[in-house]
Amino acid sequence: MNAVQEKTIPQDGYALHYYTQGDPGRPMVVFIHPAFGDHTCFHHQMDEFAADYHVVAVDMLGHGRSQVNGAPVTIEKTADLIAQLITQEGHQQAHLVGVSLGSLLAQYTADRFPEQVRSVTVTGGYSIFGDNSQIDKTQRFEMVRWLFLVLFSMERFRRYVVSKTNIVDAERELFYQSTRHFTRRSFQVMPGMSKVLDRTPRHIAQPLFILVGEHDQPVVVEHAHIWHARAAGSRLAVIPAAGHCANMDNPQQFNRILREFLAQHKD
């Protein structure tokens, strides 16, 4: 198996870091991690999919090693850089697989660069289009709690985030380690999320796979079913024995059904 290679897309004062594995001559799959984590959230996917795909896992801007160092840039810029890395790695298209916040960036990238995205898989996320008032309400409540925790202790903030992310103890600890790269300065990228959301009730054009852990927040599970009913041609799967980051909590099931979906959309 090829070793993982770290690469960058340099910008003015910062860089997007990403990690590749597998044969560049095979179809590309780009994994986009949840908020506050980094590419290591896909440690169960890299070797597994590198056998048949050219795999990339990114550190979104403000996360992992992709710190912006005070540059006037926010997180939505990650989409432009993902489109750039697809070309930089010699591909015309890629399958995008996002978890939580990463799934919103995957949709945003697919909408802005439709010719470069073959399919989109959303895990623990929601549609960036239309009225998401119920989820917005839940997120606003969480953001208030995050702000309170961050003001007093980043350690308490990280532990709280981890408690909402995974249900498997070993995966919870791994996610915690990834959050240690996310500091108070990293929050400067987060206002860019307002640019990702679009109140227009529509859907991305690419094949869509909606995944959700059975133990994710009820509002996320409910939205997954509603979204699937509205998005013609979409596929839905509930991952058993998994929380918000289902790819970490139950990788065997996640990898199996993702592999099936990708195989259906190779051409």
pTM: 0.97
**What is the pLDDT of the chain when averaged over all its residues?**
95
Buried b (16+ CB within 10 A) or exposed e, 54-86: bbbbbbbbbbbebbbeeeebbbbbbbbbbbebb
Is the model's pLDDT at 227 over the cut of 70?
A: yes
pLDDT bucket at 167, cuts 50 / 70 / 90: very high
28: which strand partners? 54, 94
Where does 33-80 show beta strands of DSSP type E? 54-58
pLDDT bucket at 143, cuts 50 / 70 / 90: confident
What's the structural domain count of the chain? 1
Q: What is the CATH number of the domain that holds 90?
A: 3.40.50.1820
| Each residue's pLDDT tens digit, 13-28 | 999 999 999 999 999 9
Distance CA 28, CA 8 (A): 17
**Residue 52, token pair as written in the block:** 């048949």
**Residue 216, token pair as written in the block:** 């994710």
State the distance between the two ends of the chain, measured CA to CA, in whole angstroms: 25
| Each residue's pLDDT tens digit, 75-109 | 999 999 999 999 999 999 999 999 999 999 999 99
Q: Which domain holds residue 204?
A: 5-264
> How distant, in Å, are the alpha carbons of 54, 86, 136, 255 from that of 44?
15, 22, 30, 8
